[in-house]
Structure formats: structure tokens, C-alpha cells
Amino acid sequence: MFVVATAGHVDHGKSTLVHRLTGMWPDRLEEEQRRGLTIDLGFAWTTIAGREIAFVDVPGHERFVTNMLAGCGPMPRESAVLFVVAATEGWMPQSEEHFAALQALGVRHALVVVSKADLADPAPVVADLTGRFGGAPVVLGTDRDRVRAELVALTERLPEPDPVADVRLWVDRSFTVRGAGTVVTGTLAAGTLRVGDDLEHDGRRVTVRGLQSLGRGRSEVRAVARVAVNLRGVDREDIARGDTVSTPGAWLRTDEIDVAFRSPGTLHEQLVLHVGSAAVPVRVRPLGDAGARLRLSRPLPLRIGDVGLLRDPGEHRIVAGVDVLDVRPPALRRRGDARDRGAQLRTGEVAPPVCVRWKELRAMGFDTRGLRIGEWVVDEQWWARRREAVVGIVERWAAEHDVAAGVPLETLRQQTGLPATELVSPLLAGTGFEVSDGRVRRPGAELPQRVDEAVRVLEGRLVDAPFRAPEAAELATLSLGAKELAAAVRAGRLTKLADGVVLGPAVVDQARIVLQRLPQPFTVAEAKRALDTTRRVAVPLLELLARQRVTRANPDGTHCVAG
């Protein structure tokens, strides 16, 4: 199927021409038929030389330019337009605005028809249009056979759409059908829709309950096509023109984009962005003379490469065509950032993020090839610089925090600029560092000299009394606080029983030997006497032995050596 949009000034005969070509009157609203004026989008279709051609007929009145753009905006960039100019009036204001809109949207294929050629000499208009449209054919609407032949030739110039591309259907109508529920219509520019497909609307899943195209039910519809989609999972009141239904997760919803201009005019801070069938007020921040950052009044599912236009509704004029270059633009914090960004936009493309999940990269419209780290795609040079930096970061941390357990993962993530802590371990691969208890350190790190000397004092005293833990006063005299003791435990020099209660590293084996000699089972008091220690040590020591399954606690409060 081929989809062709009409364009041209009000009352120049667009709808009449469509009716003559298809036998269908595109104006569907009672008010349109009563006034003889197209107000909203109309649809009709026919078959010419074996080709199914659907027409999107648009209003020509200046009050309804937004509706015109909703019909033309969702069309593929390599789409076709049937531009109508009346011989009785020639080029008119809405001819100019429609022409500017099509240029801004990048429409490249046109057939120009001079209507009402039987009411005035068409020669001056034909000459004028030939100059405006370059190589596009200009024919008289009175020669219907020539118009049909040129339409066939026009379709032959259109590129083949991608049937396996991600779907994004811009909604131009939504309504309810009794017994079926919510139905939306739109122009399917790429991809394939099938009955039963799961799609996404405004962040929630919906299901294709049924499909119709050109008045017939279908099990699947391939682009390019006019399609009506019966949806399950959304109420009619919750979906409208300017919304989309799309492949789940395939498009990034964003309210801030960077765009490059095509033939920009005078910019204002407040304009309207037309993209797809949506018309969204935006706040404009120029970035040099080549582009701008647009802050959208509501998020839209966009990708790099999308085409739209900026319009000043107050002055009824097209300000600029825009190409979307970035749907997740970087922050502009420092002096000169805006200037540098403008220079990037002038090149017509921007670099992808240096580190991003591949699904997000795809949804943004970038190529997903690159260095894969799990579900992430990273720039190889950026990753290499992070690997070089991580060694110095860990070493500096160790020097500044000599008894710390290591660099906290979150601290290391922040200092290396990684977007997620899950990337820290892959970054450390091959560096000799280890991750333990949420910290990064070198394996077997030695104690600082001051701590080593103090621990040696304790080790000497524990040789003769292995179960007599040093008291708080002794630890304070040796300047062994909680951090120093924790470092000694990590180094395997001490065993922690409880806060401020430490013994030697072999205490578990030593205690097993002593407790095996007792009659089984035994009480805490009996263990305390056998171990020649205090209850302050005996209770947490028995708890440690139980956790390691050296002993077993009985329901009556006694203990026995396991095995």
C-alpha cells in the first residue's frame, strides 16, 4: 500500500480531487459536509494499476493547520504529497504555509495538480508551480487519466519500508466501536502490526485486539499503510491524537531534546513542536545558529533521526524544520557548554553516551555496536581511561584511610564516573583488587606499623591466656579502636567475638580442644571455668562456636561439642 497526503490552500479542490480519484468523499463530519469545508483529516482509498493508494486529505484553512500537520507529520520522510493549486487563484497564503511545512518535514516526492483548470487559464499557474517545485510533475486536474498515471509513477519512486522495524503508530483519531472497544487510526510508517501484538501506550501495555485497513479486517498490516487498531487495555478517554502505540521498550520517552535546524527563521522562546501527529508547546534555548535545546511540555517517544517542525501559532508561520539529534542531551552547566554543544549540532550528528544500557541506546536510535559489558555498551577509550584511573583511586584511598576496609563501592563508582555499581567489578578485572563486603581493596593488605605493633603486644599476652580478652582500658592504652581492631580481624591477626571483645586467630580450634575434655553436655559456667575466662568472653565465644557448628546449644540451655 502507498499513502499520499494532500496539501494546498482552502477551497482549491483537494477533497474534490480525492473524490474523483477514489469515488469516496473524504469529508466525514456533518459540519464539513454542511459547510463544504474540510475541517479535520479525511481518508479515502482506491486501486490504480494494481497499486493500493490511500489518501490522507487535510484541511486548507489557516485555522486548521494543526490538523494538516497531524496528517502529514506521521508520514515517512520518503513519503509523497498531492499538492493542489487552483487555476482561478494561484499561489495563496496557505499554499505557502503548506509548502513550507512540507519542506520543513523533509517531504521529497510530490505531484502538483492544478485544479479548476476549466474555469481559468492554467498556464501562468503551471509556470509558477514548475519554478517552485523543481522537477515535480505538474498536471491539470481536468486530465484525470494523467493524474492517475502520475500517481503510479510517484509510487514507483518511493523506497521500500522496513517491515521488521520497531512500530510507532502516531494516533490521528480515536473512538469507540460498540462491542469492540477502543479503536485508533494512524499511518503505519515502518514495521508490521499483527493481531495479538503487545504494544505500549504512555508506559503501559496494550494488546492489538483487531486490525483493519482500507475497510477490510486484517490479521497483519505492513508499512506503509493506513490502519485502524482495536486495542485492549486502554479506554477511549485515555488515548487521543498526538499519542502513540509502539513496540514496548523500543522508544525513549523524553521531554528534552537537542535538534538541528533546516532553514531556520526567527526563533522565539515559546513555540510549538509538531512531530508525528503531536503538537507540543516547547521552550526553546538556541545553541548557536545551527540548533537548539527544546523543553517539551509533555514527554514524547522520540529517537534521533526523527523529523519535525517548529511553528509560531500566533503568527501562523513555520519557523524551522528540525532533525532530532539527541533525546537524552547532556547538561549545560559550565560557561561555554552551550557554544560547544552548538558546534556539535552543526555537524548534523552527536556521539552516543559513553556508557549506557544497550536497550536504552537502541531506544534512543543509536547503533548498539560497541564494547559490551553485561547489558551495557561502553566506549572503549572511555572504559580504558576508567581502568587506568581505578588503580590510583584505590591506592590513594588506602594511603588516606590506612585501617579502612577498602574503598566503598559507591565511592569508587562516583570517582570513576560509572553510572552503576554493577560495573565496578568488571572494571576491576585484572587489576589485582578484590570486592568484599561492599568495599574494594588489595587482597592481604598489611596493617599499618602502629597497628601491627599494638597487635603484637596482644598476641604475646594471648599466648599464655588465650581466652582472656583484653579489657577496654588496655585496648585504649594501645590505641586500638574499633577501626584498628576491624583491620586486624580482616588481616587474620585477631578474632572478633563481640564489639570490643577480641581473641587470637586460633581461638576456635583451641576452644574445641578444651571443651571436648568436659563431660557432655556442659553449662556456660562449666565452659567459663574450663576456659579460664569470664562470662563476657564465654557467652559470645559459645555463640561463635555454635555458628561454626563446633558446638551445639541444647533446649535446656546446656551445650555439647558437635560430632
List the grid coordinates of 224: 506503509
pLDDT at 32 > cutoff 50? no
Grid cell of 148 as nine digits: 492517475
What is the three-class DSSP state of 312? strand
**For all residues of the chain together, what is the average pLDDT?**
88
Whether residues 67 and 145 fall in one domain: yes
In sequence order, the β-bridge partners of residue 82 are 6, 111
Instruction: For residue 324, give the CATH number of its domain.
Output: 2.40.30.10
> Which pLDDT does position 191 carry in this prediction?
95
Residue 399: which pLDDT band, with cuts at 50, 70 and 90? confident
Please state the separation of Cα 445 from the chain's center in Å.
43
Phi then psi dihedrals of residue 534, to 5 deg:
-110, 165
Can you give the pLDDT at residue 10? 83
Domain hosting 521: range is: 449-561
| Digit-coded pLDDT (tens) for 423-462 | 999 998 888 887 877 778 777 666 777 888 888 999 999 9
Better pLDDT: 99 or 28: 99
Dihedral angle sign, alpha carbons of residues 416, 420, 422, 426: negative
Q: Burial letters for 324-351: b for 16+ Cβ neighbours within 10 Å, e otherwise?
A: bbbbbbeeeeeeeebeebbebbeeeebe
Place of cell 556539535: 344
Contact 195, 220 (CB under 8 A): yes
| Cα–Cα distance measured from residue 324 to residue 303, given in angstroms and rounded to the nearest whole number | 7
Clarify whether residues 81 and 148 are in a common domain: yes
Cβ atoms of 500 and 483 within 8 Å: the answer is: no
Mean pLDDT, residues 491-517 taken together: 92
Q: Give percent of the chain with pLDDT exceeding 70.
A: 94
Q: Does a structural domain hold residue 8?
A: yes
Q: Tell how strand 138-140 and strand 109-115 pair up.
A: parallel
Task: Measure the CA–CA gap between 141 and 112, rounded to whole angstroms.
Answer: 9
- The candidate with the shortest Cα–Cα distance to 420, out of 410, 431, 430, 429, is 410
Name the pLDDT band for 528 (thresholds 50, 70, 90). Answer: very high
Residue 94 domain-assigned (yes or no): yes
Question: Do 220 and 308 belong together in one domain?
Answer: no
Residue 524, domain CATH: 1.10.10.10
Decide if 86 contacts 115 (C-beta within 8 A): yes
| Residue 232 resides in a domain | yes
Same domain, 94 and 113: yes
- Please determine, for residue 330, whether its predicted confidence score (pLDDT) is greater than 50: yes
351, 381, 411 - which closes a domain: 351
What are the pLDDT digits (tens) for 154-193? 999 888 888 999 999 999 989 998 888 999 999 999 999 9
Instruction: Provide the pLDDT for residue 289.
Output: 85
Cis preceding linkage at 519, omega within 30 = no
Report pLDDT for 30.
Answer: 57
DSSP codes joined into one string, 100-115? HHHHHTT--EEEEEEE
User: In angstroms, rounded to a whole number, what is the distance separating the alpha carbons of residues 415 and 505?
Assistant: 35
pLDDT at 55 over 50: yes
Q: What percent of the chain lies above the pLDDT cut of 90?
A: 58
Within a domain: 410:
no
Q: Which three cell numbers stand for residue 53?
A: 493508494
pLDDT digits (tens, 9 = 90+) for 456-465: 999 999 998 9
Q: Express each pLDDT in 282-299 by its tens digit.
A: 999 999 888 999 999 999
Q: What is the pLDDT of residue 444?
A: 62
Q: How far does the chain reach from its first CA to its final CA, in angstroms? A: 81
